[in-house]
């Protein structure tokens, strides 16, 4: 049996979603009866399935607790994307026929939804390949367009690596310098140090809204205001922010802002750079080509991904507040279950002003890598940013908030999300307690 198969099967409890470029095993039975669907499959012969219920997320036999690394694509997002892979596949920049017009209209609708999420105008939204490209374009654009004598870029000590690396790279290219703003033990910007570093030589400030490792939420409005008082441009990496806080670029005073679709239950491979209107005329592109998106970022836009980003943005804008309360409850429940299991731990970062789904926990005298390995394949968590994985070193974020090498190496990031639930949390804590007990023996 050959060909393509899309299988979306809805049970009373589960939604099972599979995409097969080819059929690797036949579907034995599909019986539709009174709205229920029964499927008999040999799961051992099929690709890993995505099992999603209201309040539960499992991949195969694993419990997923790494939502700040990536989120699963929401089924509503996936459903909206599917027609643009097959039926409405036209190039959105083909202006001579109906399929091109439909794709273009769909992208503009998505652009509107993303703009609405952050209080921007649709024309201020530039689609990119991800937040990494958006961050690079923001930093490059400001430096390349600089016609002043300003030469200093400020970034926080706990910025995502793609911001730090881009800042140092482009600073070297254009004869600028980078200074890192220190943070407190909570992960909050050291305000005294920041104020002292804000001189009339500062061209650009780039500080993230919500940290990807320790979840600390910065006072972006104050930081942006202080930067602009000395005439600096303010950029904010907000990839982790939509799940944690409401965003309004006008109220917050942000000039440039980066987002990522796969951090908000959208597809991988797409990001956004918000560029405030007054900056756009002199803002050079990082990617050159056909001059798409008003010349700010060339390349054929991926219609399905743009549509998915738009739906994901719409969902989080409407459901964000409710979801945040839920994440906070789950995070608090996980901590309480750890205490009941007599597991010793301390919380890294701000204990109050943090992402509601983030827990960065130090387990004293336990090697974090060994713990994560011990939990496989049951629990998906991490020792820090996924973008640093494969590099055997403790987190620079944790070291920046004052942790020693040993303490940083004993810390694990656990992040709950939209499809987590209490049963899942209880099971995860049980396995964590067992693993720690085994490692301590």
Residues 340, 348: Cα–Cα separation, whole Å: 20
| Cis geometry, peptide bond prior to residue 377 (ω within 30 degrees of 0) | yes
Phi/psi at 142 (5° precision): -65, -45
Exposed e or buried b for every residue in 87-97, given b needs 16+ CB within 10 A? ebebebbeeee
Q: How far is CA 262 from CA 56, 193, 231, 235, in A?
A: 18, 34, 33, 20
- Spatial CB neighbours of 330, under 8 Å, sequence gap ≥ 6: 357, 416, 420, 421, 422, 425
Alpha-helical segments (H) within 73-144: 75-81, 83-86, 98-118, 131-144
Could you give the 3-state DSSP secondary structure of residue 256?
A: strand
Report angle CA 402, 397, 249 to the nearest 5 degrees.
Answer: 120
Location of structure tokens 């939804």: 113
- Cα torsion 219, 221, 223, 226: sign: negative
Look up 162 and say whether it is catalytic: no
Give CA 263 to chain center in angstroms.
Answer: 3
- Spatial CB neighbours of 345, under 8 Å, sequence gap ≥ 6: 338, 361, 362, 363, 364
Among 220, 221, 194, CA closest to 207: 220
Choose the catalytic residue: 162, 236, 306, 387. Answer: 387
- Spatial CB neighbours of 172, under 8 Å, sequence gap ≥ 6: none
Enumerate the active-site residues. Answer: 387
């Amino acid at each position: 049996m050959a060909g393509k198969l899309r299988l979306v099967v809805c049970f009373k409890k589960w939604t099972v979603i599979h995409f097969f470029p080819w059929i690797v095993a036949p579907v034995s039975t599909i019986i539709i009866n009174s709205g229920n669907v029964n499927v008999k499959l040999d799961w051992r012969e099929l690709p890993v399935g995505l099992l999603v219920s209201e309040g539960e997320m499992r991949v195969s036999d694993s419990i997923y607790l790494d939502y700040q690394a990536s989120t699963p694509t929401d089924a509503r997002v996936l459903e909206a994307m599917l027609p643009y892979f097959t039926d409405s596949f036209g190039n959105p920049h083909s202006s001579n026929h109906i399929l091109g017009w439909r794709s273009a209209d769909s992208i503009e609708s998505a652009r509107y939804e993303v703009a609405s999420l952050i209080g921007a105008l649709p024309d201020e939204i530039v689609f990119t390949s991800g937040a990494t490209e958006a961050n690079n374009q923001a930093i490059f654009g400001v430096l390349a367009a600089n016609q002043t004598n300003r030469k200093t870029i400020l970034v926080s000590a706990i910025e995502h690596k793609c911001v730090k690396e881009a800042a140092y790279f482009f600073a070297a290219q254009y004869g600028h310098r980078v200074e890192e703003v220190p943070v407190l033990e909570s992960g909050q910007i050291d305000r005294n140090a920041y104020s002292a570093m804000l001189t009339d030589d500062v061209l650009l400030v780039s500080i993230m809204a919500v940290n990807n490792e320790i979840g600390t939420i910065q006072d972006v409005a104050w930081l942006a205001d202080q930067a602009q008082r000395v005439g600096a441009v303010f950029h904010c990496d907000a990839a982790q922010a939509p799940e944690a806080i409401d965003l309004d670029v006008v109220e917050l005073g942000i000039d440039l802002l980066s987002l990522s679709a796969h951090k908000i239950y959208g597809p991988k491979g797409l990001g956004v750079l918000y560029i405030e209107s007054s900056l756009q005329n002199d803002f050079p592109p990082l990617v050159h080509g056909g001059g798409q998106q008003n010349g700010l970022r060339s390349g054929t836009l991926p219609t399905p991904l743009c549509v998915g980003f738009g739906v994901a943005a719409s969902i989080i804008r409407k459901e964000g507040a409710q979801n945040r309360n839920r994440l906070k409850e789950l995070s608090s429940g996980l901590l309480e279950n750890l205490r009941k299991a007599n597991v010793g731990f301390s919380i890294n970062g701000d204990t109050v002003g943090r992402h509601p789904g983030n827990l960065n926990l130090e387990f004293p005298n336990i090697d974090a890598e060994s713990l994560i390995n011990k939990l496989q394949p049951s629990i998906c968590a991490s020792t820090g940013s996924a973008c640093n994985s494969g590099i055997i070193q403790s987190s620079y974020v944790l070291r920046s908030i004052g942790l020693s090498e040993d303490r940083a190496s004993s810390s694990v990031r656990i992040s709950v999300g939209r499809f987590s639930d209490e049963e899942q949390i209880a099971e995860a804590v049980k396995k964590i307690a067992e693993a720690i007990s085994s490692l301590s023996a």
